[in-house]
Amino acid sequence: MSVGPEEAVTDLAGAAVWGLVRSAQSEHPGRFVLVDVDDAAGPEVPLSPVSGEESQLAVRGGRVLVARLVRAVPVAGGDERLPVWSADGTVLVTGGTGTLGGLVARHLVRRWGVRRLLLLSRRGADAPGAGELTRELTELGARVDVAACDVSDRRALADVLDGVSLSAVVHTAGVLRDATIASMTGEQVDEVVRAKADAAWHLHELTREMDLSAFVLFSSAAGVLGSPGQGNYAAANAFLDALAAARRAQGLPGVSLAWGLWAPASGMTGELTEADRRRMARAGFKAMSPEEGLALFDTALELDTPAVLAASFDLAAVRGQADTGPVPPLLRRLVRPARRAAAALPAREEADRTRRRLAGLPAAEREAALVTVVRDQVAVVLGHASSEEVPAETSILELGLDSLTAVELRNRLTAATGTELSPTAVFDHPTPLGLARFLADGLAAPAPGGAGTAAAASGGGQAAAPLTALFRQACDAGQPTVALALAREFARLRPAFDATGTDRPAGPGTGSAAGQGTDPAVGRGAVRVPAPVRIARGSSGAGPVVVCVPSIVALGGVQQYLRLATSFEPAQDVRVLANPGFAEDEALPATMEAAVRHHLLSLEQDTSDSPLVLVGHSTGGLLAQAVAAGLERAGRRVTGVAMLDTYLPGDAGSTAVSDGVLGAVFAGMARRESDILGFTDARLSAMGRYLELLGTWEAPRISVPTLLVRAAEPLDGAPPELTGQDDWQTSWPQSYTMTQTPGDHFTVLEEHADKTAQVVLAWLTGLV
């Protein structure tokens, strides 16, 4: 990092790492500190006086420097310092047919008299709106060339630039592939970095010998401040900021504009949800009109600095956030916290004090206080006017919580209660009352080493437990069947319950572990039967209720169906059952009959007399069929069962499953670990138990209509003996309707969830 205009950036890749970690800091406050150390530093760096309260530090000559944003002031002379936008040379605009590229192109022609433009985009003249933009610019007197070019492809870019006399470059192109740090894949990083950073580097190299008057990079505030769910984007844009500094040090023009939020919907912001926009508003960003943004564009070019934050910044909103935590260090020159006394306390001391105050209340008062805290914070993150709009016993998921909102809620509750909380707890305890009770249990327990923790069931932030570590080790060694065997054996050590709900000796009933005496763990596991969690409320109130059954893989749970439920709304009520045994304090089913009875008891708590549609993904489809059979026997109306890429029981659980198939499934699971849900000993051993039970289980016959939705694409990484077959897709021996949906075994409920929902809804329409 450069700590001043006189210092060059010597490690551009390292700058990208800073951007990545800044996003990690925003997702996990207090966990990471970034330090840039110069060559003069000795083996011991004197960070202790400031590192506890600072997130970014630099050491230069033994001095510790901290990062602060300061207001930018244009130098005297104004327009005289603006680059000469030549009427003779050509100005190159990447992403030139997109929303921001088009705004810049029009501005250059109208305001600065540019007469030659080269607009690059992946689709070129075939891009939506490209023809209209070209006609408009031509009518304004400009000569416009539009070319299809992937700027991250150096050879393609060199071909386009061959023979072109450029006078300036404006790089606006970019893509988004958002994910939290823990769930982000290498592919997601590569795609975003290629479009932003690789493209910028190629532009730098290919134009270095040209006499450019301006080299403008469109960066993002995400690279400066960090942005939850955008670690890859922050990394790419931090690289751009550093590249501009490096060019300046080499005597070349260069300025990187770290933009806030533009109001016009673009290819990157068009899919922002209302929750996303509320989150950005709480962070202090107001959406800029085109006029505001272009005025900042001009102002930034007046400054004698390589990197600026160009945003309509609401400092009052940032100051308001100080009520639930300290002002981010980077903003402390711009924002003074309203509560100086509280702000003066170190974050750890403040958290400890809050925890002690809550823990000291009588149990009933503590729970009531925590219910109020949870409702207040949920109201903020979901954009409700007051906590009165957040009923204590209504599912937060039904109110619109998503993965990033769950991360923000975790951070706010941690700051408000002084108790560490993983976002997983929001899914395990999805009502404000349930979450408050979970927090109360954490406050009542001893708190070694400072602030307490209520994350035991999630594994969030904790060291890997024994099974989790061994499971990963076996998978990394290419031995997934060994990993599964470990999970099965570990399950035998856990408490179990039978179909009557009674504790049984550890082990799956009549298996080899039975009859070896009563395990001392038996009796410590609770057999809780929660009501189904509602995640979508149908507006009509008519028609069947959709009840989803999670698959029994280690990452199965209510979150599997959030995207599907969004696509079902407002047509259907959607609820999700909880497979018992996936939380640390739950017993495992000793038999499949015990698991099915658990779900039937759960549905009995639902007083609605509406007919039901059971939906299950993967192995959840097997459970859905078994639950439907039980409902039929009990006389409950069942409209149908939809199985989403469900395979036969033997395919799911038998030891004959090949290493290749298991390896592909486990690899897919590992890629999907996140802050919201990760591997734990409880989840892995529960998967082992259910797969063992399914290996010898025969699916019951049902009389209700059944839909089998097959994935159109094979699982990524599946072995040739599976993908090479013509009949690799699943089938079902009983009577059913068959269709298929885009995606593979996992993505049918991820990026293709809307298509899957449409298929199921079309089938339902024909039944009711």
Bridge partners for 144 per DSSP: 117
At 725 the pLDDT is: 55
- Beta-carbon contacts of residue 132 (< 8 Å; ≥ 6 apart): none
- Regions of the chain where pLDDT drops below 70: 41-52, 75-84, 265-277, 279, 320-326, 336-351, 422-424, 444-464, 501-527, 539-542, 569-571, 607-608, 649-660, 674-677, 717-728, 768
- Residue 139 CA to residue 177 CA, distance in Å, equals 37
DSSP H or E run through 653:
helix 649-653
User: What pLDDT score was predicted for residue 519?
Assistant: 35
Choose among 716, 401, 457, 724: nearest CA to 585. Answer: 457
In this prediction, residue 726 carries a pLDDT of 56
Q: How far apart are CA 381 and CA 228, in angstroms?
A: 14
Those residues whose C-beta lies under 8 Å from the C-beta of residue 702, and which sit 6 or more positions away, are 625, 628, 629, 632, 638, 641, 734
Which residue type occupies 549? V
Closest by alpha carbon to 113, among 134, 135, 143, 92? 143
CB atoms within 10 A of CB 82: 15
Contact 174, 266 (CB under 8 A): no
Q: Where are the alpha helices (DSSP H) in 28-88?
A: 48-51
Q: Is 536 helix (H, G, I), strand (E, B) or coil?
A: strand
Residue 457 has what pLDDT?
A: 37
DSSP-derived letter for residue 387 is G
Query: Closest by alpha carbon to 630, among 605, 667, 660, 593?
Result: 593
Grouping H, G, I as helix, E, B as strand and the rest as coil, residue 740 is: strand
Q: What average pLDDT is seen over the chain?
A: 82
pLDDT score for 622: 93
Residue whose C-alpha is closest to residue 687's, from 709, 660, 665, 671: 665
* Sign of the torsion angle spanned by Cα atoms 352, 353, 354, 356: positive
